[in-house]
Amino acid sequence: SKYLKAFDLFILPSRYEGLSITLIEALFAQIPSLASDVGGNEEIVGKECIFKNEKEFLEKIKNPELSKTERKIFELENMVKGYLKVYQSL
């Protein structure tokens, strides 16, 4: 936790990934994040913060503000609303 708070930007360049707990932790710590286009990364940070190649990575690293909107997905209130929506659809 204390190490994460020292980051200005979190980058997850994995070639293989399922659901990255470290990426979710970085977003909870309110660290702008970028991730490679593998596993569930796009669902976590949104397509604006995903890079598919080195060129996209370099473009996105210049704009760490992109992840602010994606962080909102994992705010408590939004998570609860999402769960309620799923339960109500059953």
CA dihedral defined by 60, 8, 43, 87, rounded to 10 degrees? -150
Task: Say how far apart CA 90 and CA 80 lie, in whole Å.
Answer: 16
Give the Cβ contact number of residue 12 at 10 Å.
21
Largest CA distance in the chain: 43
**In the β-sheet with 33-36, what is the strand arrangement from edge to edge?**
10-12, 33-36, 50-51
pTM: 0.57
* Per-residue confidence in pLDDT tens, the chain, 90 aa: 678 778 878 888 888 888 888 888 888 887 888 888 888 888 777 777 778 877 777 777 776 565 555 556 656 677 677 778 878 888
- Tokens representing residue 21 in the block: 């707990």
CA atoms within 13 Å, Cβ hemisphere of 50: 13
pLDDT value of position 87: 82
